[in-house]
């Protein structure tokens, strides 16, 4: 599995897990609590922070660790270890374009909420949701490209 | 959404004709990953013109001997 594909898998799993954790926090709020009273800030920051840190650590563990394991098993350093080629770059562009389309739509939603003077809770969560959706769509498009062809 | 290429190739046969060259060896010589060589062989990825020429050169044949593009529209 190419290094970039491993990174994409790690990024997808971590993003979905962090978003799920944050969603559980929101769902655990008492019924009838006003959106403006939900202390979402720290959990959201934690979800974003965990996503970034875990993606980096996970990529190191599964990418470099996998390469080391393969090297030990074959007793030869794979020649393409850590290599990023044209296909990786083209797939990254394809995924990036899909993610950007989702991000644009999400930004529009956040803009409308701001214009409508919606509570900060809704604006912040619309942006967070956009970030998650764009990351997931981008990762899925890249993985489909890696698996099914490009 | 991306779709597999309609370009076909004879890389696998040409590799064996070139002293049973492995996918890893071909990948190293043209500067791509083994997975990209596999994807090209299986018709899941069309390489850039530069990589295509490198493949042909390493295999010691012309570009037309490696890659074929169907003349009829098969979409």
pLDDT of residue A3 exceeding 90, the answer is no
Average pLDDT of chain B to the nearest whole number: 88
Comparing CB atoms, the residue among B3, B28, B39 nearest residue A87 is B39
pTM: 0.81
Tens-digit pLDDT profile for residues A36-81: 889 999 999 999 999 999 988 888 887 777 777 777 776 555 666 6
Please indicate if any CB of chain B lies within 8 Å of the CB of A4: no
d(CA B46, CA A90): 11
Please, what is the angle between helix A86-115 and helix A3-27, to 10°? 20
Q: Which helix (H) or strand (E) holds A46?
A: helix A41-59
Tens-digit pLDDT profile for residues A82-115: 678 889 999 999 999 999 999 999 999 999 999 9
d(CA B51, CA A39): 54
Q: How many CB pairs under 8 A join A and B?
A: 63
d(CA A111, CA A123): 8
Please indicate if any CB of chain B lies within 8 Å of the CB of A82: no
**First vs last C-alpha separation in chain A:** 16
Average pLDDT of chain A to the nearest whole number: 89
DSSP β-bridge partners for residue A32: none
Smallest Cα distance from B4 to chain A, Å? 5
CB atoms within 10 A of CB B32: 27
Backbone angles phi, psi at B39, to 5 degrees: -60, -40
């Amino acid at each position: 599995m190419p290094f970039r594909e491993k990174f994409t898998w790690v990024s997808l799993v971590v993003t979905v897990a962090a978003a799920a954790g944050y969603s559980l926090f929101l769902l655990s709020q008492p019924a009838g609590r006003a959106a403006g009273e939900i202390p979402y800030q720290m959990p959201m920051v934690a979800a974003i922070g965990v996503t970034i840190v875990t993606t980096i650590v996970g990529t190191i563990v599964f990418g470099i660790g996998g390469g080391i394991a393969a090297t030990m098993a074959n007793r030869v350093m794979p020649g393409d270890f850590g290599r990023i080629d044209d296909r990786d770059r083209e797939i990254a562009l394809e995924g990036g374009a899909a993610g950007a389309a989702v991000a644009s739509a999400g930004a529009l939603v956040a803009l409308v909420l701001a214009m409508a003077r919606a509570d900060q809770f809704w604006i912040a969560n619309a942006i967070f949701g956009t970030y998650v959706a764009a990351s997931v769509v981008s990762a899925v498009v890249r993985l489909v490209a890696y698996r099914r062809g490009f | 959404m991306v779709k597999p290429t309609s370009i076909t190739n004879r890389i696998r046969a040409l590799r064996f004709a070139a002293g049973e060259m492995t996918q890893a060896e071909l990948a190293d010589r043209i500067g791509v990953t083994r997975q990209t060589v596999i994807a090209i062989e299986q018709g899941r990825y069309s390489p850039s013109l530069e990589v295509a020429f490198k493949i042909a050169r390493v295999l010691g044949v012309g570009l037309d001997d490696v890659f074929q593009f169907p003349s009829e529209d098969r979409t």
